C-alpha cells in the first residue's frame, strides 16, 4: 500500500514538468516557423548570408488546442499543420530580432520593419516588436584564412615544381659533364700508352702503317672505352635533337593553322614566310654544335613548363599580353614569335579571341616578315618573360581576386574606348579598373587624357593599394564596358552601309585611302567582309576567276584585257586555255581599230558585269575573301 501511494505522489510531481516541456516545444515550433517566414521575405531583397533572424514568442494557453486524452506531441503536430495566419493568433506577444551587416542603412531598416509587420501580421497593440542588431560573422574570417592557406599551398607547389625542374636540368648537365670528363680521361690514357710504346720501339714510332694497331693489342681497351663514351654522348644529344624536332614541327605549321591567317597566306610560295616559321631553318653555323643543341633543349623545356598547366585563366593572361605587344610595337616580331612558341593549337585559339585590329596587325606582319637571324634566342627570351609575368600575375591575382573574363573584355577595348570607360567610373571602380592594366598601359592612358580626364585617374592611382582589392567593383566596370561598346557599335552601324557604298563607288587609290583612315575595329571588320570592288578579281582563287571569266565572251575578255596592265593580263590569262588566249589576242587587235571611247565604254560594261557577279557570290557566301599571296603577286 505504501509503495502504491509513493508511486502516485511521484507521478503527480512530474505533471508540471512535463507540461512545461510541452510548452517549450510549442514555443520553439512557432518561433521556428516565424523565423522561416521572415527569412523568406527578406531573402527576396537581401543576400541570405547578410542577415540572421531570431524570434521569441509568449503563448496564450487559452488559445492552444485542448487535447488532454491524446498522446504527447499532438498539439505540436496540429500547430505545424495550421495556416500561418492562425498560428500568429496564438502568441500574446512576438519579439523578432534581426541581425544585419553594416551596409543596411536606417531607411532600409524602417522599410524592413514595415514589410515584416505587414506580412507577418504583427500587432503592436499586444506588444509585438522588431529590433535590429549588428551581424557578426566569424566564418568570414575563417574563410579568408582558408583562402590564404590555399594560396600559400599553391605557391609551395609551384616552388616545388620549379625546384624539381631545376634538379632535373642539373642532373642532365652533370651527366654531360661526367661523360665529357670520362672521355678526356680515356684520351689521356690513350695518349700515355701511345707515347710509352713509341719510346720503347723507335722503329714503330717512325711509321703509321695500317697494321699499327694490330701490333699493339693493349690499345684495344682504351679505344673501346673511348668509343663507348662517345656513343653515350651521341645518344644523349640525339634524344635532345628528337625533342627539339618535335616542338620545331609544331612551330612549322603555324601560318596554315590559324584559320583567317591560312586564308590570307594560303598560296604563298614555299620558302619565304613559312620557312621563317621553322626553328630548324635558322642558320647555326656560327655556333658550336653543343650551343645549338643546348638552345633547342632549353626551348623545349621552357615550352613544356609553360604549357603543362595551360588553362583558360592562363590563356586569358597570354591573350592580354600578346595584345599589349601588338599595340605597343605593331612592327615587332615579338607577338607572332610568342604565338609560334606556344604551338599551333594555342596560337589558333589566341588569334580567334583577338579583336579585329590585333588580327589585322598579325596578318600585316606575316605578309611582310623576313627571317629572324636569332629566332631561338628570341623565343627563349619571350618565353622566360612570359613565365615571369605569369608567376607575378598569379601572386597578384591571388591577392586581388581578379576576374579573368573581365580582363579579356578590357583587353579587347581600343585606346579610345578605354578612356571613355575610365571617365564613366567612380573613383573606387576606377582604381580597380586601373589595377587590370600593366603600368605602361596606365601611362599611355594618362598621356592621351586631357586635364579634366587625367585628374580622376591620378586621384584613383593615389589610393590604388586600397581600390585594387575591391572585387565588388568589377560589376560596375563590366557594366560601363557594355555601355561604351554598345554605344560605339550602335553609332557606327548606322554608317556601315554608307562607308561601304562610298568605298565601292570611289577610284581605287581614293578608296584605299578612305579605308586606311577608318580605324574602328568593328567597322574595319565589316568592310573587310562586305566591300567588293573590281580589284578583287586579282585576289580571289584561280578556280573562282576561271569560273567568272568563263561566263564572258571572247570580245568581252578582249575589251577587259585591253585596259589592264601586262602583270594583270598575265595573272588572269592563267585561267584560259592556250586556244582562248589566242582568240582574245586576235580580238584585241580588232578592238585596236575602234575608237578609245568605244573601248572604254565596252570595258565599263564588262567591269560592271564582273563586279555584279562578285557581289552576288559574296552575298551567297561562295566567294572566298582575298588571298594575301595573290595580293602580293600582282601588287606590282
* 231 vs 472 pLDDT, higher one: 472
Confidence band (pLDDT; 50, 70, 90) for 289? very low
Domain boundaries in the chain? 20-136, 158-206+218-400, 412-504, 532-633
Interatomic CA distance for residues 292 and 299, integer angstroms:
11
Predicted local confidence at residue 137, as pLDDT: 57
DSSP code per residue over 223-258: HHHHHHHHHHHHHHHHHHHHHHHHHHHHHHTHHHHS
* 567 or 209: which leads in pLDDT: 567
State mean pLDDT over 121-128.
Answer: 83
* Average pLDDT, integer, range 126-144: 72
- pLDDT band, very low/low/confident/very high, at 15 (cuts 50, 70, 90): very low
Burial of residue 628 (number of CB atoms within 10 Å: 0-12, 13-18, 19+): buried
Which cell numbers in the block locate residue 485? 561598346
Residues β-bridged to residue 58: 93
Q: Calculate the alpha carbon distances from 62 to 20, 89, 91 in Å.
A: 15, 11, 10
Where would I find the beta strands (DSSP E) of 70-182? Answer: 91-100, 129-134
Q: What is the DSSP letter of 503?
A: H
Q: Which residue has the cell 564582273?
A: 610
Query: Is residue 571 pLDDT above 70, yes or no?
Result: yes
Q: Is residue 104 over pLDDT 50?
A: yes
Whether 20-136 shares its CATH topology with 532-633 is answered no
Q: Please give the pLDDT value at position 212.
A: 39
The backbone torsions φ and ψ at residue 498, rounded to the nearest 5 degrees and listed phi first, read -60, -50
Q: Is residue 353 predicted with pLDDT exceeding 80?
A: yes
Say what percent of the chain tops pLDDT 70.
67
**Is the model's pLDDT at 89 over the cut of 70?**
yes
Alpha-carbon torsion (245, 249, 252, 254), positive or negative: negative
Helix axes 289-307, 138-200, angle to 10 degrees: 160
Q: What is the pLDDT of residues 425-441, one digit of tens each?
A: 999 999 888 888 887 78
The model carries a pTM of 0.28
Q: Which three cell numbers stand for residue 377?
A: 634566342
The CATH number of 20-136 is which of 3.40.220, 2.30.30, 3.30.390, 3.30.300?
Answer: 3.30.300
State mean pLDDT over 526-554. 83
Average pLDDT over residues 587-612: 88
Cα 329 from Cα 209, distance rounded (Å): 66
Q: What are phi and psi of 52, to 5 degrees?
A: -140, 145
Pairwise CA distance, residues 628 & 268, whole Å = 8
State how far the Cα of 381 lies from the Cα of 375, in Å rounded to an integer.
10
Phi-psi label, residue 401: left if phi above 0, alpha if psi -120 to 50, beta otherwise? left
**Mean pLDDT estimate for the chain:** 72
Residue 115 DSSP class: H
Kindly state the average pLDDT of the residues 95-104. 81
**Whether 53 contacts 98, CB under 8 Å:** yes
Count of all residues that appear for the chain in the document: 636
SS3 for 97? Answer: strand
| DSSP single-letter state for residue 132 | E
Q: Is the pLDDT of residue 166 over 50?
A: yes
The H or E element spanning position 417 is helix 415-423
The predicted-structure confidence for 383-411, as pLDDT tens digits, reads as follows 888 877 776 665 455 455 677 778 878 87
Q: What does the pLDDT average to over 581-597?
A: 87
**What is the model's pLDDT at position 208?**
43
Q: Give per-residue pLDDT as tens, 19-37.
A: 444 556 777 888 888 888 8
Q: Does domain 532-633 have CATH number 1.10.220.30?
A: yes
10 Å CB burial of residue 524 (0-12, 13-18, 19+) is: middle
d(CA 586, CA 536): 27
How far apart (Å, rounded) are the C-alpha atoms in residues 389 and 444?
20
Amino acid at each position: 500500500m505504501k509503495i502504491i501511494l509513493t508511486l502516485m505522489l511521484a507521478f503527480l510531481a512530474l505533471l508540471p514538468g512535463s507540461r512545461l516541456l510541452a510548452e517549450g516545444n510549442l514555443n520553439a515550433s512557432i518561433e521556428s516557423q516565424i523565423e522561416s517566414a521572415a527569412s523568406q521575405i527578406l531573402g527576396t531583397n537581401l543576400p541570405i548570408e547578410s542577415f540572421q533572424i531570431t524570434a521569441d514568442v509568449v503563448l496564450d494557453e487559452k488559445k492552444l488546442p485542448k487535447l488532454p486524452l491524446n498522446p504527447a506531441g499532438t498539439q505540436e503536430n496540429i500547430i505545424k499543420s495550421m495556416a500561418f495566419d492562425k498560428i500568429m493568433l496564438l502568441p500574446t506577444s512576438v519579439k523578432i530580432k534581426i541581425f544585419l551587416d553594416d551596409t543596411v542603412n536606417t531607411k532600409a531598416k524602417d522599410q524592413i520593419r514595415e514589410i515584416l509587420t505587414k506580412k507577418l501580421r504583427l500587432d503592436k497593440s499586444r506588444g509585438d516588436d522588431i529590433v535590429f542588431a549588428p551581424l557578426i560573422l566569424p566564418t568570414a574570417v575563417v574563410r579568408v584564412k582558408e583562402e590564404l592557406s590555399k594560396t600559400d599551398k599553391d605557391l609551395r607547389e609551384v616552388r616545388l615544381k620549379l625546384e624539381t625542374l631545376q634538379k632535373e636540368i642539373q642532373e642532365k648537365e652533370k651527366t654531360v659533364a661526367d661523360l665529357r670528363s670520362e672521355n678526356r680521361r680515356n684520351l689521356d690514357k690513350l695518349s700515355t700508352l701511345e707515347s710509352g710504346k713509341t719510346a720503347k720501339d723507335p722503329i714503330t714510332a717512325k711509321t703509321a702503317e695500317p697494321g699499327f694497331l694490330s701490333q699493339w693489342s693493349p690499345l684495344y681497351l682504351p679505344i673501346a672505352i673511348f668509343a663507348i663514351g662517345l656513343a653515350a654522348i651521341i645518344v644523349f644529344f640525339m634524344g635532345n635533337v628528337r625533342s627539339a624536332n618535335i616542338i620545331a614541327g609544331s612551330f612549322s605549321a603555324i601560318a596554315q593553322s590559324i584559320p583567317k591567317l591560312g586564308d590570307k597566306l594560303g598560296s604563298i610560295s614555299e620558302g619565304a614566310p613559312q620557312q621563317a616559321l621553322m626553328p630548324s631553318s635558322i642558320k647555326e653555323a656560327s655556333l658550336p654544335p653543343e650551343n645549338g643543341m643546348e638552345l633547342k633543349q632549353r626551348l623545349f623545356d621552357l615550352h613544356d613548363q609553360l604549357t603543362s598547366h595551360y588553362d583558360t585563366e592562363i590563356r586569358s593572361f597570354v591573350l592580354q599580353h600578346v595584345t599589349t605587344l601588338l599595340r605597343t610595337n605593331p612592327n615587332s616580331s615579338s607577338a607572332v614569335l610568342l604565338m609560334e612558341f606556344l604551338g599551333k593549337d594555342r596560337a589558333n585559339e589566341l588569334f580567334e579571341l583577338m579583336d579585329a585590329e590585333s588580327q589585322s596587325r598579325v596578318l600585316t606582319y606575316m605578309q611582310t616578315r623576313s627571317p629572324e637571324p636569332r629566332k631561338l634566342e628570341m623565343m627563349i627570351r619571350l618565353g622566360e618573360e612570359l613565365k615571369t609575368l605569369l608567376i607575378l600575375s598569379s601572386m597578384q591575382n591571388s591577392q586581388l581576386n581578379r576576374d579573368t573574363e573581365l580582363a579579356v573584355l578590357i583587353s579587347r577595348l581600343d585606346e579610345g574606348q578605354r578612356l571613355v570607360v575610365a571617365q564613366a567610373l567612380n573613383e573606387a571602380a576606377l582604381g580597380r579598373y586601373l589595377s587590370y592594366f600593366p603600368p605602361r598601359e596606365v601611362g599611355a592612358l594618362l598621356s592621351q587624357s586631357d586635364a579634366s580626364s587625367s585628374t580622376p585617374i591620378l586621384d584613383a592611382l593615389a589610393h590604388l593599394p586600397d581600390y585594387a582589392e575591391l572585387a565588388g567593383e568589377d560589376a560596375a566596370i563590366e557594366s560601363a564596358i557594355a555601355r561604351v561598346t554598345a554605344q560605339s557599335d550602335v553609332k557606327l552601324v548606322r554608317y556601315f552601309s554608307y562607308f561601304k557604298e562610298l568605298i565601292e563607288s570611289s577610284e581605287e587609290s581614293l578608296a584605299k585611302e578612305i579605308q586606311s583612315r577608318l580605324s574602328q575595329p568593328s567597322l574595319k571588320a565589316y568592310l573587310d567582309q562586305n566591300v567588293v570592288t573590281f580589284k578583287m578579281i586579282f585576289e580571289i582563287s584561280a578556280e573562282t576567276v576561271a569560273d567568272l571569266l568563263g561566263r564572258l565572251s571572247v570580245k568581252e575578255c578582249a575589251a577587259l584585257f585591253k585596259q589592264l596592265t601586262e602583270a594583270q593580263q598575265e595573272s588572269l590569262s592563267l585561267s584560259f586555255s592556250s586556244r582562248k588566249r589566242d582568240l582574245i589576242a586576235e580580238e584585241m587587235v580588232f578592238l585596236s581599230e575602234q575608237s578609245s571611247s568605244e573601248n572604254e565604254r565596252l570595258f565599263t560594261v564588262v567591269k560592271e558585269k564582273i563586279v555584279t557577279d562578285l557581289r552576288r557570290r559574296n552575298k551567297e557566301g561562295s566567294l572566298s575573301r582575298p588571298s594575301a599571296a595573290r595580293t602580293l603577286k600582282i601588287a606590282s
